[in-house]
């Protein structure tokens, strides 16, 4: 499975995502520059963490206008797998590819911490390899990761089984403990925890590999992912 890692000016987890996918997972991977009009022939695309365009104005607010986002949107619309991690999640939300918003952490401080979460559904190309009853350990590192949406959106996410991950010890005040969400078509996911930082035994946890393994399985057995759940 060929991965593309988008590089915005200010992305700083691009190398980490590249290493996790290329080295820990052993898959082909390439960088895609932010002003590129196409994604090339990748099978999945990762929007990495960092501070795209300095996160000035608002996290992801400038990045959504970069040329590559048009290509990402077209790729997503055609069913391609799009994974946004941390700042990548913020960008996907700003771009309207995922619902809700990510606001300042409850304690108003940046938090870097390993914590526990659980896949809230196995019915997605990003979580099918994760058992929902298993506790996963992954780190977070963000200042604006409090997931926020109105009640109707939250109810809808829940009813459509689109909450991908939930915190067991909510660090930032995210509503309904949401750590990651899916789009309606289930091919776009954003999450604040960093699976690429939990992909190497030396880093203390390999639970993040569940996300990448799920993506590989989805490519090998695509039909299983077409079963979207409608409320």
Partner 1 sequence: MTITPDLIAQHQLTEGEYRKIVGILGREPTYTELGIFSVMWSEHCSYKSSRVHLKKLPTRGTLVVQGPGENAGIVDIGGGYVIAFKIESHNHPSFIEPFQGAATGVGGILRDIFTMGARPIAVLDSLRFGRLDDTKNGPRNQRILSGVVSGIAHYGNCFGVPTIGGECIFEPCYSANPLVNVFALGVCRKEEVFYAKAAGVGNPVIYVGARTGRDGIHGASMASAEFTEESKQKRPNVQVGDPFMEKLLLEACIEAMRTGAIVGIQDMGAAGLTCSTCEMGSRGEVGIEIELDRVPQRETGMTPYEIMLSESQERMLLVADKGREGEVFQVFKKWNLEAAEIGFVTGDGKLRVRHHGQVVAEIPNRELADEAPLYNRPYTVPIQARQAPGFTIPADVQSALPILLAAPDICSKRGIWEQYDYQVRTNTLTRPEQTDAAIVRIKETGASIAMSLDGNGRYCYLSPREGAQLAVAECCRNLSTVGAEPVAATNCLNFGNPERPEIMAQLVEAIEGMSDACRAFNTPITGGNVSLYNETLGEGIYPTPVIGIVGLMKTAAPVTIPFKNPGRSVILLGGPGGCDETRFGGTQYAKEIVKQLWGLPPALDLDREKRVQSAIREIVVAGLAESAHDLSDGGLAVALAECSFGPAGIGAQVDLSSDLRPEVLAFHEAPSRVLLSTANPNKVAAIAEKYGVEAPVVGITIEREIEIRQRSVTLGTWETKALKAAYDHALEKGVG
Contacts with partner 1, residue ranges (CB under 8 A):
9-10, 12-13, 15-16, 19-20, 23, 49-51, 53-56, 109-114, 139, 141, 143, 194, 196-197, 199-204
| C-alpha distances out from residue 167 to 114, 120, 199, Å | 11, 10, 19
Catalytic annotation, pick one of 86, 94, 142, 144: 86
In angstroms, give the least distance from the CB of 9 to partner 1.
Answer: 6
Q: Which is nearer to partner 1, 156 or 200 (CB)?
A: 200
CB nearer to partner 1: pick between 35 and 155 = 35
Classify residue 12 by burial, with Cβ atoms within 10 Å: 0-12, 13-18, 19+.
Answer: middle
Instruction: Extract the tokens encoding 58.
Output: 């608002």
We find the least distance from the C-beta atom of residue 10 to partner 1, in angstroms, to be 5
Reported as type and span, the H/E element at residue 67 is helix 67-77
Q: What is the smallest separation between the CB atom of 183 and partner 1, expressed in angstroms?
A: 27
- Comparing CB distances to partner 1, the nearer of 50 and 84 is 50
Active-site residue 196, yes or no? yes
Minimum CB distance to partner 1, residue 117 (Å): 16
Provide CB contacts within 8 A for 161, sequence distance 6+.
120, 121, 123, 229
Q: Which is nearer to partner 1, 11 or 123 (CB)?
A: 11
Question: Which tokens belong to 163?
Answer: 């909450």
Q: Which residues contact 153 (CB under 8 A, 6 or more apart)?
A: 99, 100
In the structure encoding, which two tokens stand for residue 156, read together? 């809808």
Residues with catalytic function: 86, 194, 196
């Amino acid at each position: 499975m060929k991965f593309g890692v988008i590089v915005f000016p200010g992305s700083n987890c691009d190398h980490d995502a590249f290493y996790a996918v290329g080295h820990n997972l052993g898959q082909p991977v390439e960088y895609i520059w932010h002003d590129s009009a196409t994604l090339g022939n990748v099978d999945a695309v990762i929007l990495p963490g960092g501070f795209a365009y300095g996160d000035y104005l608002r996290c992801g607010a400038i990045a959504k206008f970069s040329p590559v986002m048009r290509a990402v949107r077209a790729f997503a619309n055609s069913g391609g797998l799009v994974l946004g991690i941390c700042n990548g999640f913020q960008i996907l939300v700003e771009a309207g590819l995922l619902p809700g918003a990510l606001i300042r952490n409850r304690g108003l401080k940046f938090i870097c911490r390993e914590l526990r979460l659980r896949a809230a559904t196995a019915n997605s190309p990003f979580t099918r390899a994760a058992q929902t009853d298993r506790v996963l350990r992954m780190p977070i590192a963000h200042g604006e990761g409090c997931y926020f949406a109105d009640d109707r959106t939250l109810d809808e996410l829940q009813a459509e089984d689109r909450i991908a991950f939930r915190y067991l010890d909510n660090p930032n005040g995210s509503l309904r403990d949401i750590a990651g969400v899916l789009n309606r078509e289930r091919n776009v996911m954003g999450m604040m925890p960093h699976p690429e930082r939990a992909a190497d035994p030396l880093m203390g946890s390999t639970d993040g590999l569940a996300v990448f393994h799920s993506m590989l399985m989805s490519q090998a057995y695509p039909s299983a992912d077409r079963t979207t759940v409608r409320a």
